[in-house]
């Protein structure tokens, strides 16, 4: 990438955020799900796939709610090497079976180029997680696939760096990109991260790409997910990505930020009450 491209993206507008430079709005299709329309897309599921029984219970419940996509991690990048790291390809088989059984598309994270081809055969959308936004070989490899991508903002990334990460994917041939704001690291420790709500309209204007918000990682606390989700919808987010679990207390990963399945339906009604 040459100096001119670094200073101002060849595909996206510059980051001055003026109305005159607003990019053309795009829609991204994942199966029958379309990001970028009026009603925000709802993605829900556990932080991690823990067992065939666990993902089946959650997928069965979500299939009866207005949930558009299932999420579930099979490779889990954890700060501590002693924490649960995911089931890997065994977990992929479990979530694929559940998604197929309940006829709901699913998204899962890929961390390594070596895993990309196999995961892409089964999932409907590939997630590039926060820790891998700077993994440029992985971004290039995803760009060579004709598979929708959910690109999460790194917890230390500027708007410009996030935009250029999307550019890595797009310049390698894949323009099916949905962006995800999941909070950035700040000086405050009251929440897990600090949600940058302004990033939603800024990235929509700069790139034209759909932008979803992950209130689970932004807050780290399940009781804050509903009000933060309502704020995201109010500012025009193209979707929400929420972690849910049938038994958060005993979840192997991020139970404190997972909404109980029994509470989730009511929460959806409160968040989406302004949409038909």
Residue 56's pLDDT is what?
A: 98
Residue 225's pLDDT is what?
A: 96
247 contact partners, CB below 8 Å, separation of at least 6: none
- Taking CA atoms, 88 is separated from 25, 47, 56, in Å, by 36, 14, 17
Please state which CATH class domain 42-271 belongs to. alpha beta
Residue 16's pLDDT is what?
A: 52
Residue 7's pLDDT is what?
A: 45
Residue 76's pLDDT is what?
A: 83
The residue written with tokens 């089946």 in the block is 56
User: Which three-class secondary structure state does DSSP give residue 62?
Assistant: helix
Beta-sheet strands, E only, within the chain: 28-30, 33-35, 41-45, 69-71, 106-109, 125-128, 149-152, 177-181, 211-213, 239-245, 259-260
Residue 82's pLDDT is what?
A: 77
Domains of the chain, residue spans: 42-271
In angstroms, how far is CA 228 from the centroid of its own chain?
A: 16
Selection from 266, 249, 240, 251 nearest residue 68 by Cα: 240
Selection from 119, 164, 163 nearest residue 145 by Cα: 119
Residue 77's pLDDT is what?
A: 81
User: Which three-class secondary structure state does DSSP give residue 75?
Assistant: coil
> What are the mean pLDDT values of the chain's consecutive 10-residue runs (276 residues total)?
46 56 90 95 97 98 97 88 87 98 98 96 97 97 96 96 97 97 93 95 96 96 96 97 97 93 94 79
d(CA 275, CA 79): 38
Element (H, E) at 60: helix 52-62
The dihedral over CA atoms of 193, 194, 198, 202, expressed in degrees to the nearest 10, equals -30
Provide the b/e sequence for 174-207 (b: ≥16 CB within 10 Å): bbbbbbbbbbbeeeeeebbbbbbbebbebbbbbb
pTM over 0.85: yes
């Amino acid at each position: 990438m040459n100096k001119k491209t670094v200073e101002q993206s060849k595909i996206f507008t510059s980051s001055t955020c003026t109305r005159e430079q607003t990019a053309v709005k795009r829609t991204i299709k994942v199966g029958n799900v379309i990001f970028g329309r009026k009603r925000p897309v709802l993605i829900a599921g556990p932080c991690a796939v823990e067992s065939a029984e666990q993902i089946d219970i959650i997928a069965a419940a979500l299939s009866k709610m207005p949930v558009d996509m299932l999420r579930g991690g099979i490779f889990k990048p954890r700060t501590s090497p002693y924490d649960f790291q995911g089931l890997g390809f065994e977990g992929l088989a479990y979530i694929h079976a559940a998604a197929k059984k309940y006829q709901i598309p699913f998204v899962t994270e890929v961390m390594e180029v070596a895993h990309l081809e196999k995961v892409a055969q089964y999932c409907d959308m590939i997630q590039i997680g926060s820790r891998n936004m700077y993994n440029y070989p992985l971004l290039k490899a995803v760009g060579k696939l004709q598979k929708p991508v959910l690109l999460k903002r790194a917890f230390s990334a500027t708007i410009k760096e996030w935009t250029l990460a999307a550019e890595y994917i797009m310049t390698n041939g894949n323009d099916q990109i949905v962006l995800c704001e999941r909070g950035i690291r700040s000086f405050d420790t009251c929440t897990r991260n600090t949600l940058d709500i302004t990033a939603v309209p800024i990235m929509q204007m700069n790139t034209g790409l759909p932008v979803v918000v992950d209130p689970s990682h932004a807050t780290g606390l399940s009781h804050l997910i509903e009000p933060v989700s309502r704020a995201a919808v109010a500012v025009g987010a193209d979707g929400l990505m929420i972690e849910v679990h049938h038994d958060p207390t005993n979840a192997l990963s991020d139970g404190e930020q997972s909404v109980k399945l029994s509470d989730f339906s009511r929460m959806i009604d409160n968040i989406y009450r302004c949409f038909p």
